[in-house]
Structure 1
Amino acid sequence: MPTAALYARYSSDNQRDASIEDQLRICRERAERERWRIVDSYSDRSISGASLIRPGIQALLQDAQARRFDIVLAESLDRISRDQEDIAGVYKRLTFAGVRMVTLSEGDISELHIGLKGTMGALYLKDLADKTRRGLRGRVEDGKSGGGNSYGYRVVRRTGPDGEPERGEREIDPAEAAIVRRIFADYAAGKSPRQIAHELNAEGISGPRGKGWGPSTLFGNVKRANGVLNNELYIGRLVWNRQRFLKDPDTGKRVARPNPKEEWIIQEVPELRIIYDELWAKVKARQTAIRERYVKNGGNGLTATRRTRYLFSGLIKCAECGGGYSIVYRGQFGCSTVKNKGTCSNHTRITREELETRVLNALRNHLMKPERFHAFCEEYTREINRLRMEASTGIAAKGAELKKVEGGIRKIIDAIKEAIVRQV
């Protein structure tokens, strides 16, 4: 009896968790009619199909390589992926593993389905993105929010004449607006972002999204216009489309890319002004002076003087707040939350040399005990063997693909030779 694995996915927040169960149910009914024995089911909840960085699909591919099942059954091909490259990659991996791909909508999947449906899925994503951007642009040109909300404002919920909710409406939040004015005034008076953040946190004033204040929350990035001190909405100017986001095909993470200035959409919204021009100009003048102070020999002094990474950089956590430990003073590691926000009471510091000596001595003296060393070697060997098997499987797959491509090239060359001989 053939064995089957079921796969289900949904991406929209508007869909229900029950969508997964509905997909699995109809797939299970199909498997029963075909008399396939179901060995497992995989799912990804509220995750986009534009990337394969999904735990469910990755587990399915790994089990397929281990030949746990003969068939992958899904509701439709776009549940597997909407990306052309990804859907082709999944198909090639399953085919190499000897696993069939079957969907309720398309039936047995072949190269034809991969080409057509992959193209249709990619076009669907592009069309959806274009429609979304058109809608957001129209909203921004009406002086409404193009997505998200800034500190100092609150969302206004009202219903339009057609009975539908009007989106993008907001108004000034008086309490938060007072904090914004205080931040601008303190910075213009010479206080550093770290000092301002410490004072706000000490007074128990919640920052954006209810979290504590940090220097980066205030200073942000001038070029990207993020951070409280760079938000032009505070002077009644709504700027949209400064940047676009692209998905990194390797990591699946969104990466910001700046848009040309001529593509920005700028709308005056005087009713949302919190900061007046004179105070804004003082803040911008101080930011410019600080940047110029650190520009040396045509480079950015702030970037050039970044500390190098050490043996345990990025690996140390604060036992009290869970934040990272970093170099805070002359080769000493300390809690970054204490330094940047002042919201943690753990003021313990340790020198880099002492930390490295303690950890390495502990590894040397305790890990080398026979029973622990034996357990370590077994686990290390097991993991290395697993990685080697995965690597060899990938090499074999690419080798088979290379042979197939070389065979196709030889056939084309032979056909050209034969055509030339016939003409002679």
Structure 2
Amino acid sequence: MKVAIYARYSSDNQRDASIADQLRMCRLQAEKQGWQIVEEYSDHAISGSSLLRPGIQALISDATRGRFDLILAEAMDRLSRDQEDIAGIFKRMSYADVKIVTLSEGEVTHLHVGLKGTMNALFLKDLADKTRRGQRGRVEAGKSGGGNAYGYDVVRKLDVNGEPVRGDRTINETQANVVRRIFRDYAAGKSAKTIAFALNRDGIAAPFGGAWGFSTINGNPKRGNGILNNEMYVGKIVWNRQRFIKDPDTGKRQARPNPEEDWVIQEAPELRILDDALWQAVKTRQARNRIAPDAKGQPDVARVNTRRRPKYLFSGLTRCACCGGGYSMISATLIGCSTARNKGTCDNRVNLRRDELESRVLNALRTRMLDPKIFAAFCDAYTREINRLRMEARAHIDAAQAEIGRIDREVQKLMDLYLKDALSVDDVKECGDRLRARKAELTSFLATTDEPPPLLHPAMAQHYRQRVQQLYETLQDDSEERRTEAAEVIRSLVEDIVLTPVEGKVEIDVRGDLAGILTIAAQRKNPAAGKATGSQVKMVAGAGFEPAAFRL
């Protein structure tokens, strides 16, 4: 029996030794059972509420490839504390014919998944409720609810029992002077960008180190973040402005605002850095900037709502080779390095026209990335791999159907032997139960397995070229609807566009997902083919080609 061991500890009151302890106990159990350990997987200081863990992902991947027959862990909650995730792991392992055994529960069954999964989910909710209750208690006592703000230091001390006292803060005078400087400059009419430039020029570190940006200063007034919106600077602790909900698809936390009546506001005069007059001057200017007057002097909210940077074909995909920052629109026609203009910490001041960038990249997709020699090899390998996977899926289905036929024949033979008094009732029952269980397992597999799509045609490269050409022509269409649809497809094929200034010119490296458009071509020829997944092949349109460079 080939076994894989998994161990994990979260960041709540545990340590690296916990991993070693879990692995040691699992090794002893494997040795006792005579199992062969083929691999050990672990995740350090990562919560079990998400599957976005390198160790568990590697475990699942190796299990589906048949590297081992059994997973051994200390308890189910080491694998996951999320109901949906533990059920998904169990389902995948059942399909891969890999058993899950824990030191606490023994062999994991559907019953364990249901009951323990619910208990683990309740544990997470209870832990979150207790944490928030503790944070609220600290805020109502005039202490910080968690984290730290720029301008303050965390006070580290112990109570009479030797336990750490949490939530105490003291003013950091050096940072407090920077806060006062920011508020005075903003009240005097300077923009957040100008203030950030000056701070970076004077070598003053931002709250998390590195360089200041205008967003660090402006923040979001509704959420109360950013230097200009932190009410702690006037001696008020505001807690529970927002809550965080985990996205079930990405595992990332998303902030959701709470109604104002749920906020907890506590006076903390000992933490005041600013006087009320300066605070109000800044709030007045912020309000004036948010609601700009129209020609008649009336608030023009609609105009403010439309003052957004125009979206272009490759927005969000372009980045500067010098600093790694993004490129953005700096005028109606030009794009430039955002870091250079917003923070002043990048020396790249070379701009280029947006329409020139789009033209170069589209031509790279249409011509340079369709080099016949490249795609003759690429499309052949892609087609062979996809067809191999589909034939394997078809073979598993055919094997299951054939085995069900054999089981039916075996059952009939049992009945014939029983009628001839060649077998006892107990023998027939034992064999029959085993055959029925196996048949039920195979029937379930067939019921939950999708029919594999037809094989790809060997001439997929030609369909690929036609599809790229059609996408390019659609982008030249005057119809906004068709152009928008084609633009979304093109954007999905470009990973990023790196712009490098070289002697007054800009070299453009386009990195794209070639397998992605090949899949699009397959869908066009046969919609069912879209269900297949294949290896993603990346190509740089720059390496091996002349770089796209032009004068400004």
TM interval, short-chain normalised? 0.7 to 0.9
Distance 1:303 1:380 in 2: 47
Distance 1:261 1:391 in 2: 55
Distance 1:388 1:50 in 2: 34
Matched, 1:312 2:311: no
- Tell whether the 8 Å contact from 1:5 to 1:73 is kept in structure 2 after alignment: yes
SS in 2 for 1:112: helix
Residue identity matched to 2:358: E
Name the structure 1 match of 2:346.
344
Matched, 1:244 2:236: no
Number of equivalenced pairs: 401
Deviation at 1:400, TM superposition (A): 4.1
Mean Cα deviation higher: 123-132 or 21-30:
21-30
Deviation at 1:10, TM superposition (A): 1.4
SS in 2 for 1:221: coil
Residue identity matched to 2:127: L
Residue identity matched to 1:307: R
Name the structure 1 match of 2:358.
356
Mean Cα deviation higher: 334-343 or 320-329:
320-329
Q: Spell out the pairing of 1:22-421 with structure 2 (5 A cutoff).
A: 22-293=21-292, 301-363=303-365, 366-377=368-379, 380-381=382-383, 400=444, 403=447
Instruction: Summarize the Cα distance change of 1:403–1:386 in structure 2 as closer, same or farther, 3 Å threshold.
Output: closer
Distance 1:20 1:384 in 2: 39
Deviation at 1:56, TM superposition (A): 2.2
The structure having more radius of gyration, on CA atoms, is 2
Deviation at 1:363, TM superposition (A): 5.0
Distance 1:329 1:248 in 2: 36
Distance 2:237 2:265 in 1: 6
Mean Cα deviation higher: 183-192 or 16-25:
16-25
Distance 1:388 1:174 in 2: 67
SS in 2 for 1:49: coil
- Tell whether the 8 Å contact from 2:292 to 2:301 is kept in structure 1 after alignment: no
Deviation sequence 1:222-262 (CA, Å, 0-9, x none): 11011111110011011111111111111101111112222
Deviation at 1:100, TM superposition (A): 1.0
Give structure 2 stretches of 5+ with no counterpart: 401-440, 449-552
- Tell whether the 8 Å contact from 1:317 to 1:323 is kept in structure 2 after alignment: yes
SS in 1 for 2:100: strand
Distance 2:314 2:51 in 1: 31
Residue identity matched to 2:155: V
Name the structure 2 match of 1:422.
none
Deviation sequence 1:247-295 (CA, Å, 0-9, x none): 1111101111112222211110111111111111111111111111289
Instruction: Summarize the Cα distance change of 1:328–1:375 in structure 2 as closer, same or farther, 3 Å threshold.
Output: farther
Instruction: Summarize the Cα distance change of 1:60–1:297 in structure 2 as closer, same or farther, 3 Å threshold.
Output: farther
Identity of aligned residues (%): 62
Deviation at 1:390, TM superposition (A): 11
Instruction: Summarize the Cα distance change of 1:68–1:329 in structure 2 as closer, same or farther, 3 Å threshold.
Output: same
Distance 2:303 2:391 in 1: 47
Deviation at 1:375, TM superposition (A): 4.5
Deviation sequence 1:25-49 (CA, Å, 0-9, x none): 3222322322223333322222111
Q: TM-score, normalised by structure 1?
A: 0.86
Deviation at 1:387, TM superposition (A): 8.8
Instruction: Summarize the Cα distance change of 1:57–1:191 in structure 2 as closer, same or farther, 3 Å threshold.
Output: same
- Tell whether the 8 Å contact from 2:292 to 2:299 is kept in structure 1 after alignment: no
SS in 2 for 1:165: coil
Residue identity matched to 1:312: F
- Tell whether the 8 Å contact from 2:292 to 2:304 is kept in structure 1 after alignment: no
Residue identity matched to 2:336: G
Distance 1:47 1:387 in 2: 34
- Tell whether the 8 Å contact from 1:236 to 1:272 is kept in structure 2 after alignment: yes
Mean Cα deviation higher: 71-80 or 331-340:
331-340
Give structure 1 stretches of 5+ with no counterpart: 405-424
SS in 2 for 1:67: coil
Deviation at 1:60, TM superposition (A): 2.2
Distance 2:270 2:255 in 1: 30
- Tell whether the 8 Å contact from 1:316 to 1:324 is kept in structure 2 after alignment: yes
Distance 1:290 1:297 in 2: 10
- Tell whether the 8 Å contact from 2:291 to 2:301 is kept in structure 1 after alignment: no
Residue identity matched to 1:176: Q
- Tell whether the 8 Å contact from 1:294 to 1:301 is kept in structure 2 after alignment: no
Deviation at 1:120, TM superposition (A): 1.2
Name the structure 2 match of 1:415.
none
Distance 1:49 1:287 in 2: 42
- Tell whether the 8 Å contact from 1:4 to 1:73 is kept in structure 2 after alignment: yes
- Tell whether the 8 Å contact from 2:237 to 2:266 is kept in structure 1 after alignment: yes
Name the structure 1 match of 2:457.
none
Instruction: Summarize the Cα distance change of 1:7–1:297 in structure 2 as closer, same or farther, 3 Å threshold.
Output: farther
Deviation at 1:80, TM superposition (A): 0.8
Deviation at 1:151, TM superposition (A): 0.9
- Tell whether the 8 Å contact from 1:294 to 1:300 is kept in structure 2 after alignment: no
Deviation at 1:302, TM superposition (A): 4.7
Root-mean-square deviation over aligned CA pairs: 3.0
Instruction: Summarize the Cα distance change of 1:40–1:381 in structure 2 as closer, same or farther, 3 Å threshold.
Output: farther
Distance 2:20 2:384 in 1: 36
SS in 2 for 1:41: strand
